[in-house]
A and B are shown apart, each in its own frame.
Chain A
Amino acid sequence: MTTAFRLPKGGRIDRTKPIVVRFNGREVPAFQGDTAASALLANGIHFVGRSFKYHRPRGIMSHGSEEPNALLDVDRGGNRREPNNRATVVEAFDGLALKSQNHWPSLTFDVGEINDRLGAIFVAGFYYKTFMWPPKFWTSVYEPIIRRAAGLGQAPTAPDPDRYAQRHAHAEVLVVGAGPAGIAAALVASEDPNKRVILCDEQAEPGGALLHDVTSEIDGVPTSAWVKAAIETLDARENVTILPRTTAFGYFNHNHVALAERITDHLRVPLTGLPRERLWQVRAGRVILATGAHERPLVFADNDRPGIMLAESLRCFVNRYAVLPGRQIVIATTGASAYRAAIDLKAAGASVTVVDLRLEGDCGTELVAAVHAGVEVLTNHTVIGSHGRQRVTGLIVAKLDGNGAVGAPRVLACDCAGMSGGWTPAVHLFSQSRGKLRFDSGLDAFVPGASVQAETSAGSCRGVYDLAATIADGAKAAGGSRAVAASPTYTSFQPARIMPAPPGQKPVKAFVDFQNDVTAKDIKLAVAEGFTSIEHVKRYTTTGMATDQGKTSNMNALGLLAGQLATEIPAVGTTTFRLPYTPVTFGTFAGPNRGDLFDPARVTPIHDWAVANGAKFEDVGLWKRAWYFPARDETMHQAVARETKAVRTSAGIFDASTLGKIEVTGADAAEFMNRIYTNAWTKLEVGRCRYGLMLKEDGYVFDDGVAARLSPTLFHVTTTTGGAPRVLAHMEDFLQTEWPDLKVFLTSITEQWAVIAVQGRRAREMIAPLIEDIALDDAAFPHMAVRTGHIAGVPCRLFRVSFTGELGFEINVPADYGQAVWEAVYESGRRFDVTPYGTEAMHVLRAEKGYIIVGQETDGTVTPDDLGLSGLVGKAKRDFVGKRSLVRPDVVATGRKQLVGLRTGDLSLILDEGAQIVADPNQTVPMKMIGHVTSSYMSANIGRSIALALVVDGRRRMNERLHVTTPNGFAQATVVEPVFLDPEGVRLHA
């Protein structure tokens, strides 16, 4: 194996550590310190992928995160496979497996290449124009085909084996980018040891563009020595955190910047315990953006052939990785910086020709330097095309005459080409910070204008390209100054939107956005079809979209559009730069929040008993609640029928611990209760309970529950399971902001008390043997009373309440004793064949009695009267939350939906909850819907299905026959009272 294009010396690679990576199965020798891209180029491999739409052969175009073409499938072993990685930022290690994408059957022979021949069809707006007819074809034919064809790589299917971490950090100064400006800023900012400074950079080592500058000097030393000394200084300062391999990808409000740190991707075997990536959420006092600039490609026909690269990237590969990207290189340029690349390539042994659009007189000292170095320079020349299908073999160039007319074409043979259309400051993060961009015509670029946050841009990301000026700018951004002497930088360029071409050139593909396969013609077509806004053109042509976010394409697209619209770039404006700056893995965002930690589960103190006794669980909010307890191979339906019957015939036991519980204490507790609930509380005696309704100020039911008065100044309030937090928040809101004069404290006690409901005619007999200090007989302890005492030796608050319509008790004991007391009560109930029941049976039992569930019978638009509960509204009370709204015109009007029961004609038919109700099923569509089913169950106790519903003027429709939608058409149902069992309430007093 030879690495024919590796130079014998130089570069920042570690020649003592040879490695082998694989590309499409082929062995590719490389060195530690290579990227996937430099490893491939060292072996003469340029052609690494197929383009998105036209499946054109594509090569490596750049050397950094702006790479639009070389997207590879990367397999790091052990199910660590990921598509769409930029070859230019993937660090190589021994055994790394790379694959090209978006082709079938192979990279060199791809059937999809037919798309390129059919280019006339795949124009801008192709989808919108083509897949329109017939409409039903969209889901059955078009979408499946498009979905198969779309995208580049294949998503992995195996679970991600890695761990991801997240942390928050605070810093006085965050510096983004460790190039010359960023390093200078960090040096100045960290001089004060009390200032915490974070310096992050997306590359593996700090230095930015200086990492591939082998000729410049700063204060008399090579740039690499300057970087080394600066980083050593920073490393020695305890207030500095340097984060390599860390991309600042999002800039949010109040200087909140998100960073993605890649920790193990460059390691052959990730160290045990290390997370793969870490999300940093940094809150910085000041943010200094030193994010650099991107080189612009040139727009000419077939400018996308493998081997055609950005000029500065050629320089990077030769200097940083000691890789010669070609032996015969032609560099097309409209500016000075490419000459530096030409000189470096020439010094490394390549034959180099520069084709410059500028007139000789417009060039600076770079021209003389290049010629002196032995570079052939053709000024006043344009590029009008290229040759070579899977690798460039020549650029077609032509001289311009005095009037700018294109002369006779000739081919400059080459095996690699460079292009340089000038520079575009990377203003992505500045734009995300909501800063307004300003167009600088001298720089032909958008640069940061006024900052909106505590932010400063420094260096080439604001158009300061000269090395010494960049360092001074970084220092200034950090509030200091640093004057250095440095080699001059070739910076000027003459903007060219599209390279001059002879009139009537045959239809060509001159790419503007390489990643999205958008050509200059697409942008012209969009304008011809009437699009004038850059935001619309972006979406119509897809230029600047997707993961690339226009890093290389943006300015060329804007310039072309401005030209087509015969206006100036500032009038066109820019599109919004979206985060993330570069793609971030889902794992980084998810962090540790997956598996068991995805969503916390709340369990009751009696949970383990339920698990041990075979309960099936349902999620209620975050709670795991026992749903039903199937015996042997019972179905849910059979289990619920058995459980509900047991409660009505003997006794059942139910874990109600999830009920929200709040203690309302203080001298004004009763007054507070009076204002919060609809009913009256001031006269409630100690030792009594009351069912209360709570409204929002708009008059609609917000929550309900039983509250007990344990002393003149202490209420034990219960809420719905899901409502506990919002009820406490609602109470706190009024207490703190409207009635701060009330002497009341509110305390959540949901987690402190386990609640065991014992329901059924045997309930009293069941608990009696366990209680000595509470008289349980009906006279001493009537329905809706509360007592404190002990059960099985444990202190308890014993409520005589019922959510089943049976004689019942709810035993509140400290949570730690919950399961022990449960087991004692269960043991005591065995002689009555006590049956544990779950939430499903609880729902059926309460529906048989017509007891509502807030959130099921109510939906935030239901008043107490709609529920038939106007008796719970204290008419004599002067005020309570929501009272005034109960006399609003639309609340007192007729035509409101009211709670009723429904009996289906078919006894076994269980209506769908949410099903719509109409009066006449034969009316024309759209029908007038007069209500909906809120609850629906099979009742084993009644021997038929039952349902509750909200129906317009429901209480005036008793015995009326209505029609309810089902999956099989309408079903008949008769309106009845919403109480199906024991309407007199005799059972409560069994």
Chain B
Amino acid sequence: MLLIECPHCGPRAEIEFRCGGEAHIARPADPSALDDNAWAEFLFYRSSPKGVHAERWNHAHGCQRWFNALRDTMSDRILATYPAGAARPNITTIEAAR
């Protein structure tokens, strides 16, 4: 079970959280302006990197707030957590997190 640092509550056990998939995918301002391919890209396509992945997490059984986390999908190490809306920290490799 992961230990996740909620930016608002501090470190908490994974069972308090819900993962919401890849982060930093903004909903298009005007969806009707998108053609079918572009809309499908937004709706269905997600990256699944081996390494650092930015994810949305919700502290569902805590403050209920959404935030983002950088997780290394190889080691499950969480390299950073930050509030929703904040810029992604410039960590692209696990080494950079150390």
Q: Which of A168, A255, A698, A732 has the most CB of B within 10 A?
A: A732
Whether A117 sits at the interface, judged by CB under 8 Å, is: no
Q: Are A253 and B1 in contact (CB under 8 A)?
A: yes
Q: Is B90 at the interface (CB under 8 A from chain A)?
A: no
Complex Cα distance A883/B34, Å? 12
Answer yes or no: B47 CB below 8 A from chain A CBs: no
Interface size class of B (residues with CB under 8 A): 20 to 34
B36 interface residue (CB < 8 Å to A): yes
- Residue A846 lies at the interface, judged by CB distance under 8 Å to chain B: no
Q: Is A913 an interface residue (CB 8 A)?
A: no
> From residue 6 to 34 of chain B, which have CB atoms closer than 8 A to chain A?
13-14, 18, 20, 26-27, 30-32, 34
Interface centre among B13, B31, B58, B64 (most CB of A within 10 A): B31
Q: How far is the CA of A254 from the CA of B14 in the complex (A)?
A: 10
Determine if B53 is an interface residue (Cβ-Cβ < 8 Å): no
- Of the candidate stretches A69-77, A422-430, A566-574, A884-892, the one touching chain B is A884-892
Please name all residues of chain B whose beta carbon is closer than 8 Å to the beta carbon of A283 when the two chains form the complex.
3, 13
Q: Does A879 contact B (CB under 8 A)?
A: yes
Distance between Cα atoms of A740 and B14 in the complex (Å): 25
Pairwise interchain contact A737-B75, C-beta atoms closer than 8 A = no
Cβ distance A223 to chain B, nearest Cβ, rounded Å: 38
B89 to chain A, nearest CB (A): 18
B39–A733 touching, CB < 8 Å: no
- A-B contacts, 6 of them at CB < 8 A, read A253-B1, A254-B76, A698-B43, A729-B58, A737-B56, A883-B32
* Beta-carbon contact of A878 and B32 below 8 Å: yes
* Cβ contact within 8 Å between A697 and B43: yes
B32 touches A252 (CB 8 A): no
- Give, as a whole number of angstroms, the nearest-CB distance from A730 to chain B: 11
B49: CB under 8 A from chain A? no
Residues of A in contact, count (CB < 8 Å): 26
Q: Whose C-beta in chain A lies nearest to the C-beta of B38? A: A884
Given contacts A253-B2, A254-B3, A736-B66, contact A885 B43 (CB under 8 A): yes
Q: Taking the nearest CB of chain B, how far is it from the CB of A863, in angstroms?
A: 14
Complex alpha-carbon distance, A129 and B92, angstroms: 52
Contact of B36 among A253, A452, A697, A888 (CB under 8 A): A888
Check if B91 is an interface residue, CB within 8 A of chain A: no
Bitwise, A403-419 to B at CB < 8 A (1) or not (0) is: 00000000000000000
The CA-CA distance from A889 to B84 in the complex, in Å, is 33
Alpha-carbon distance between A474 and B3 when the two chains are bound, in angstroms: 27
Residues B64 and A732 in contact, CB atoms below 8 Å apart: yes
Known: A253-B76, A729-B18, A738-B26. 15 other contacts (CB 8 A): A254-B2, A254-B3, A254-B77, A254-B78, A281-B1, A283-B3, A698-B43, A729-B58, A732-B64, A733-B58, A736-B66, A738-B27, A879-B31, A884-B32, A885-B43
User: What 0/1 pattern do residues 690 to 724 of A give for CB contact below 8 A with B?
Assistant: 00000001100000000000000000000000000
Quick check: is A256 within 8 A (CB to CB) of the other chain?
yes
B97 sits at the interface (CB 8 A): no
Residues 856-901 of A at the B interface (beta carbon under 8 Å):
878-879, 883-885, 888-889
**Among A168, A256, A736, A885, contact of B39 (Cβ-Cβ < 8 Å):** A885
Distance (Å) between the CB of A741 and the closest chain B CB? 11
Whether B20 and A733, one on each chain, are in contact in the complex, defined by CB atoms closer than 8 angstroms, is: yes
The minimal Cβ–Cβ distance linking B43 to chain A, given in whole angstroms, is 6
B60–A729 CB distance below 8 A: yes
Q: Which of chain B's residues have a CB closer than 8 A to the CB of A878?
A: 30, 32
Mark A261-292 against chain B: 1 for CB-CB distance below 8 A, else 0.
Answer: 00000000000000000000101000000000
- Picked from B2, B32, B75, B78, the residue with its CB within 8 Å of the CB of A452 is B75
In the complex, chain A residues whose CB is within 8 Å of the CB of B88: none
- Residue A849 is within 8 A (CB to CB) of chain B in the complex: no
Residues on B with C-beta less than 8 A from A732 are 58, 64, 66
**A884 vs B39: C-alpha distance in the bound complex, in angstroms?**
8
Q: How far is the CA of A889 from the CA of B76 in the complex (A)?
A: 38
Residue A434 at the B interface, CB < 8 A? yes
Q: In the bound complex, do residue B34 and residue A884 qualify as a contact, i.e. CB atoms below 8 Å apart?
A: yes
Contact A737 B43 (CB under 8 A): no
CA distance A254 to B13 in the complex (A): 10
One digit per residue, 1 when the CB lies within 8 angstroms of any chain B CB and 0 when it does not, for chain A 237-256 equals 00000000000000011111
Q: Once the chains bind, are B31 and A737 in contact (CB under 8 Å)? A: no
Chain B proximity mask over A422-448: 1 for CB below 8 Å, otherwise 0: 000000000000100000000000000
Chain B residues within an 8 Å CB radius of A879? 30-32
Across the interface, A254 reaches (CB within 8 A) one of B1, B34, B39, B58, namely B1
A256 contacts B36, CB within 8 Å? no
- Nearest first, the 9 A-B pairs at minimum CB distance are A884-B31, A254-B3, A736-B66, A738-B27, A256-B1, A253-B76, A737-B84, A253-B2, A737-B66
- Shortest CB-to-CB span from A748 to chain B, Å, is 10
Smallest CB–CB gap between B56 and chain A, Å? 7
Q: Shortest CB–CB separation between residue B86 and chain A, in angstroms?
A: 12
CA distance A434 to B75 in the complex (A): 8
A888 to B38, CA, bound (A): 11
- Contact call A736/B31, Cβ cutoff below 8 A: no
Of A729, A732, A884, which is in contact with the most chain B CB atoms at under 10 Å from its CB? Answer: A884
Residue in contact with A252 in the complex, picked from B1, B34, B58, B66, CB distance below 8 Å: B1
Task: State A732–B59 Cα separation when bound (angstroms).
Answer: 12
